[in-house]
């Protein structure tokens, strides 16, 4: 008698993440989940990315915060579709939250969705949302020892953005050592050095995003 083996049973969150992903795939939308510490520069990066790509891609944004609409208001001022999720205390976004927010976005009219996760280097990593790509921002004032202390996120992401590099002259932060450390942990990761204050590095990052979107479009 053969005993049936059921593999790969998804938990409730992952099931809904898969549904979200299928919806994104149907519309050919590339979805990027952006994670960082509080104040790492997630919203500023999203605003810069909108400016860099808005002539080439139709962009939507999902803003995740425990409370407030501060970030969504800043994005809305760029006249792109935006939804604010207030988690009400929860320390990360999850797939059901994203699923519900999608009814508020014009999916047939979008090429790229950027999701700003809750400011937290730990908890968001454990919850799939249906995204194509995971990106983290490591801001230079946080110090160059973060990969030792928060290894989970550094190995989970497709790209690391070293942000606020305009502050490097005033800080002890060894960019070369930091790059070496994270590439040692995650050999396939792409690394960008960006200042949303001066615009340095924004174009390189935006080209990477556009390329990821193009790769996805060809697949769908």
Q: Please give the residue ranges that form the binding site for a second copy (CB under 8 A).
A: 37-40, 65-68, 70-71, 89, 91, 118-123, 139, 141-143, 145-146, 148-152, 164, 166-167, 170-171
Dihedrals phi, psi of 219, to nearest 5 degrees = -75, -35
Closest separation in Å from C-beta 169 to a second copy: 9
CB 163 within 8 A of CB 191: no
Closest separation in Å from C-beta 162 to a second copy: 13
With respect to a second copy, which residue has the nearer C-beta, 92 or 216? 92
Closest separation in Å from C-beta 149 to a second copy: 5
With respect to a second copy, which residue has the nearer C-beta, 106 or 184? 184
With respect to a second copy, which residue has the nearer C-beta, 108 or 151? 151
With respect to a second copy, which residue has the nearer C-beta, 28 or 141? 141
Which 3 state secondary structure label does DSSP give 196? coil
Closest separation in Å from C-beta 81 to a second copy: 22
CB 51 within 8 A of CB 209: no
- Kindly list the strands in the beta sheet with 159-163, ordered across the sheet, starting from the edge strand earlier in the chain: 82-86, 59-65, 112-116, 30-36, 133-139, 159-163, 190-193
Closest separation in Å from C-beta 91 to a second copy: 4
Whole-number Å distance between alpha carbons of 104 and 106: 7
Residues in the chain: 220
CA 104, 79, 74 angle in degrees (round to 5)? Answer: 90
With respect to a second copy, which residue has the nearer C-beta, 8 or 169? 169
Whole-number Å distance between alpha carbons of 70 and 132: 26
Q: Which two tokens stand for residue 72?
A: 């969504």
DSSP alpha helix (H) spans, the chain: 12-27, 42-53, 70-76, 95-101, 146-149, 151-156, 175-185, 202-219
With respect to a second copy, which residue has the nearer C-beta, 13 or 19? 13
Closest separation in Å from C-beta 38 to a second copy: 5
């Amino acid at each position: 008698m053969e005993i049936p083996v059921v593999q790969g049973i998804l938990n409730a969150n992952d099931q809904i993440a898969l549904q979200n992903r299928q919806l994104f795939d149907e519309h050919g939308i590339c979805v990027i989940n952006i994670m960082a510490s509080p104040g790492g520069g997630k919203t500023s990066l999203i605003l810069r990315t909108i400016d860099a790509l808005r002539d080439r891609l139709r962009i939507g944004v999902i803003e995740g915060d425990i409370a407030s609409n501060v970030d969504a208001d800043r994005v809305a001022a760029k006249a792109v579709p935006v939804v604010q999720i207030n988690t009400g205390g929860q320390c990360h976004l999850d797939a059901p939250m994203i699923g519900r927010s999608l009814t508020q976005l014009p999916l047939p009219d979008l090429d790229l969705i950027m999701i700003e996760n809750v400011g937290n280097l730990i908890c968001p990593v454990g919850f799939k949302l249906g995204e194509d790509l995971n990106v983290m921002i490591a801001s230079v004032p946080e110090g160059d020892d973060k990969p030792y202390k928060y290894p989970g996120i550094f190995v989970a992401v497709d790209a690391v953005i070293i942000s606020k590099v305009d502050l490097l002259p005033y800080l002890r932060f060894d960019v070369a050592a930091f790059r070496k450390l994270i590439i040692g942990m995650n050999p396939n990761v792409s690394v960008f050095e960006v200042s949303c204050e001066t615009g340095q590095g924004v174009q390189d990052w935006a080209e990477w995003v556009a390329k990821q979107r193009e790769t996805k479009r060809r697949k769908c």
